[in-house]
Chain A
C-alpha cells in the first residue's frame, strides 16, 4: 500500500494519461451534472463529484456503437466486411465501488460464459481501474445492502481512500504496483490501513442519516423473488406504474441487454450498430411468429427484478445483479425504482405474515 498527498492525487491520472485514454468523473458546467466520461484534461476530474449520472458501462459498452461495417457489391457479388477500429486502452480514474461491481457483472455476462463478446473485450482489455472509496454515502445509495461498497474489495488496479491529508492507495494488481513504484510513491504504514478501516466504518454508520432516499432490504426479498411466491397483484401494481421508457435498464451499471440494427447508409454501405436495449419493451421480448412470453407489462417488470435480485441470477454474476447505486429510482417516471419494488414486495410479505 502507498500514500499520496491529497493535492497530488491527480498526478496518478497524469501518469495514466501517458499510456491510456483517461475516463473520470467530470461535472458538466451548464447542468451541474457529473458524468463519468473521457476527460479533456485530467485536471477536470473531480473525485468529490456526486455519483456520476451516467453509469461506467458506457465506457465498456457504449449507448450506441458500430460493431461491424460491410458493403455488398451487386456486380461482383463480393461482400467486404470490416471490423471496428480497436480503441485505445482505457483507464477509469475515480470509479465508485458500486460501479466497479457493475463492470464485474458485465464481465461475467460478456466474457465469463460460453461465448466471449469480442467487441466488449476490445473495450475492456488492458483497462486500468482506479476506484475511490465513498467516505460518506449519497442520498440515493444502498450499496451496504448489496455488498458493493462503500469501498471496493476486488477488481481494481488501485483503490483510493481519503484518510485526511492523503489518499491511501491499495494495490489490486501488479500493473497497479508498478505504476506506484514508478512514481516513487511513499509506502504506507499499518496506522494508515487502520485509518482506512475507520473511514469505511464511519461511512457505513452514516447510511442511516445520509442515505435517506432509499431503504432497500435486499436480502429479505431475494428469497421471495427466487421462489416466485409473490402475489400477481403486486406485480400488477408495479406494472401499472411502468411507463415503458427503458430508463432503468439504461442507467443500470449491470444491465447488459442490447439490440443489433443494420443501418443502411446512403452509399449502400451498412453499419451494424449495437445499442442499449431494455426488457421493459414489448418488442424486446417478442419472438418470431408473434409469440411473446412476456406480453403484459407486469411480466416484463417481474423479469427485470428477477434478473437483479434472484439467487439463480446471482449465481451467474457471483453477486446480486443490483449494485445499490440508486440510479433507477431517480430516472423512473413511475415510482418503481428497485428500492421501491423491494419495499412493495416486503410490504406484501409483511401483510401475508400477518394474515397467516
Chain B
C-alpha cells in the first residue's frame, strides 16, 4: 500500500490526508474521508502539499561559513562550531535568542525550548509569527484556565448560532469555513462581522458590514443589548461566573445613540443578531489568531459576549481562535514563549520552575526572557538560533546581518541561509515521527513516511547532538520518549502516550486522569474556581478619518499569498494562482468601491498613489463592490508593499486586524 495516513502541515486546521509514497518520494496526496475534522476535504494548499515535499531544493549537508562562503562540513564539525560560538556569548539572557518554528512538531519544539533554557541559559525563545494567537490564549486562559480553543471543530454542526469575526475564513482555514457553511446549509444561523464582503460574509445569513475599526464597538453593543433586554443567560452567569458587574459597567460608557454612526450598522440589525444569539441553545464564535488577528481588547469582548450569553462550557459552544499554522497551538503548548513553560505554565511560578529544573537536571534562568524580535529591534542581540523560518528576513534583514553569530536549522534552502554562519540540515516532517497540535487542541501523530535524505538527521536527533556537545546528557531513543517527558511535566498532556494514537483523529487536550482519551471542549464544571469575565477597556472611539485622509484602509491577506510564500513558491499550482493575481496587479492593489473609483476618476488596474500620514506607495486599484465607499482594502502579497509601506506603520499593525490606516488615494 503506497498511501500512508498523515496530517496536513500547512494551516492549523489539522486536516487528515494520505500521502502517496513511490520509490521513496512523495508523489501525491489524497484527503482522508474518515478524518473527524476534514471528512474528505482539503483546500488548494493541502491538495498540493506533495509538490512542496517532493522538491529537491533541500539542504543536504551541514555548512559552515568560511571567508564569507558557506562550505560543506560534517554534522560533528558544524555542531561543535555552533556550540563553541554560542557558549562564547557572555550574557545569554540578553544577547542570545532562539527563534522556533510553528511548523515543527511538538517534540522538536519542546527540545528546542529545552536547549535554549537548560543548555544555553536563556529564556529568549519565541516565535511571534502569529502574535494574535498569544493574545487569544491570554484571554481564554485568564477567563477559563484553558489556553486553547474552548470548542471543537467537530461540534460546529451542533452550533445553532455561529459568529465569524473578521477573518476571511474560507480562504485562510478553508475546511473550518466549509464546516461553518455546511452548518449554515443545515439551518444554523451564521453572522459575519467584517468590513469587506468576504466569501464567508456572502455565505452568511447576516453580514454586519461595519466601518473599518469598529468591530469592538459592535461586539460591545451586542453585549449591551443582551444585558439591557435581559436576554443574557442569568442562570449561567450566576452559577458559573464572576466579574459580571465589572463587565456590565464598562459597557455603560457606550452611548446607544452613537452606535450607528460609529459602526455603520443599524440598531435593528444589532437587535436581530442579539435575538438570534439569545434564542440559540448553542453558539460558537470564530476569529483568526493569525497575523491579521484581532487585538486583545476585541478578543476579550468576543469572549465576554459569549460568557454573558451562556455560550461556553458545553457541547456545541465555544470561543474559538483559529490558528493559521500547523503547529501554532502546539508551539505555545510546548512553552515556546519567553515567559512560559509547557502547557501555559508560568516560568515565574516557583513550583513549576523547580519541577522543570529537577527533571532537566539543570539550573534554569529565572527571569522572563524577551521576544526575539524585540531584542533584534533593541540591537542587544549577539547570537541567534533559528529553525525553519525566514519571515523575519522581510523586516529584520539588516539587524540579522549585524549579529555576531547566526545558526540556522532547516530542511529547505531559503534566503535565511545567506545570513547564517552555520547551517545545520534537519529532516522534513514526513521523515520522522512527531505530534502536531491543531487549532482545536487536537494532538495528532504523524508517522515517518519516507527515509530521510541521505545522511540527514531528524530535528530531535540534531538538538540532542547539540546538547551533547554542550555537555548535557539527553537520552532520547525516539520522539515517543520525548513525548513521555513532555507528558510528565505538562498537566494538559499528562495522559498523552504514543500508544494511544490508534487510527486517525488524534487526542484533544486536556488529556489527563479525568479525560484519558482527551476532551473535545472546555466544560464549565472544569474551571478552577469560577469562570471570569476578563477586563476590557471602555474605550469606544472609532478609527478617525479626516478631510485630508478620507479613506479608512484595512490590510489583510491575499488568497494565494500565505506566510511570505516561502512554502508556496515551491509548489506549482498554488504558485501559478498567486502569479495570476501578481500578473494582473504587478505592484499590488488597493480595493475601492465603484463609487469612489468614479469620484477619483480611475478604472480597474489604473495606477494610484496611496498616501498616509506616515508614507506613501504606488499601486493599482481594483474596483469592487466588496468594499464600501470611503473604505479601502490592501491585501499584502508583495514584499515591497510590506517592507516599504506597511512596515512604516508598525505600531498600527501591531494592533492586529483592526489596525486601520487613514489614507488619501490620488490618481497618478
Identify the A interface with B (CB < 8 A): 26, 28-33, 35, 37-40, 44, 53-54, 58, 62-65, 240-241, 243-247, 250, 259, 261, 263, 265-266, 273, 275, 277, 281-284, 286, 290, 330-335
Contact = CB atoms under 8 A, between A and B. Distances in A.
Given A33-B34, A53-B30, A275 B572 contact: yes
User: By CB atoms of chain A within 10 A, which of B4, B573, B579 has the most?
Assistant: B573
Contacts of B175: 333
A290 B573 contact: no
Contact of B5 (A28, A38, A40): A28
A35 B47 contact: no
Contact of A283 (B174, B185, B503, B576): B576
A211 B1 CA distance: 29
Interface string B187-223: 0000000000001001100000000000000000000
A266 B573 contact: no
Given A53-B40, A245-B44, A246-B44, A240 B504 contact: no
Given A39-B1, A65-B27, A275-B572, 19 more contacts: A26-B1, A31-B5, A31-B18, A31-B503, A33-B32, A35-B1, A37-B3, A62-B27, A64-B50, A241-B181, A243-B178, A245-B47, A275-B573, A286-B580, A333-B43, A333-B177, A333-B181, A335-B182, A335-B185
A263 B57 CA distance: 11
Given A62-B27, A282-B580, A244 B44 contact: yes
Contacts of A330: 33, 39-40
Q: Which size class do B's interface residues fall under?
A: 35 or more
Given A266-B57, A281-B577, A241 B203 contact: yes
B1 A281 contact: no
A277 B576 CA distance: 11
Interface of B: 1-5, 16, 18, 20, 27-35, 39-44, 46-47, 50-51, 54, 56-57, 170, 174-175, 177-178, 181-182, 185, 199, 202-203, 503-504, 559, 572-573, 576-577, 579-581, 583-584
A104 to B, nearest CB: 23
B174 A243 contact: yes
A63 B503 contact: no
A266 B56 contact: yes
B203 A331 contact: no
Contacts of A33: 3, 5, 18, 32-34
A65 B27 CA distance: 8
B317 to A, nearest CB: 24
Given A241-B181, A243-B177, A283 B579 contact: yes
User: By CB atoms of chain A within 10 A, which of B44, B50, B175 has the most?
Assistant: B44
28 contacts: A26-B1, A32-B503, A33-B32, A33-B33, A33-B34, A35-B18, A37-B1, A37-B2, A62-B27, A64-B51, A64-B54, A240-B202, A243-B43, A243-B44, A245-B44, A263-B572, A265-B56, A273-B572, A281-B573, A282-B577, A283-B573, A286-B580, A290-B584, A331-B31, A331-B41, A333-B170, A333-B174, A333-B177
Contacts of B33: 31, 33, 53, 330
B578 to A, nearest CB: 8
Contacts of B57: 266
Contact of B35 (A31, A54, A277, A332): A31
Contacts of A29: 1
User: By CB atoms of chain B within 10 A, which of A29, A245, A331 has the most?
Assistant: A245
B181 A334 contact: yes
A31 B504 contact: yes
Given A30-B503, A245-B47, A259 B572 contact: yes
Given A333-B43, A333-B175, A64 B27 contact: yes
Contacts of B28: 58, 62-64
B579 A333 contact: no
A63 B572 CA distance: 13
A63 B18 CA distance: 13
B341 to A, nearest CB: 33
Contacts of A259: 572-573, 576
Nearest to B580: A283
A263 B5 CA distance: 27
Contacts of A332: 41
A288 B174 CA distance: 30
A267 to B, nearest CB: 9
A226 B450 CA distance: 48
Contacts of B170: 243, 333
Given A240-B203, A259-B572, A247 B178 contact: no
Nearest to B174: A243
Contacts of B185: 335
B31 A28 contact: no
Contacts of A26: 1
User: By CB atoms of chain A within 10 A, which of B1, B16, B50, B177 has the most?
Assistant: B1
A275 B28 CA distance: 10
Contacts of B178: 243, 333-334
A100 to B, nearest CB: 20
Contacts of B41: 245, 247, 331-333
Nearest to B45: A245
Given A38-B2, A243-B178, A250-B47, A54 B30 contact: yes
Contacts of B30: 35, 53-54
A246 B47 contact: yes
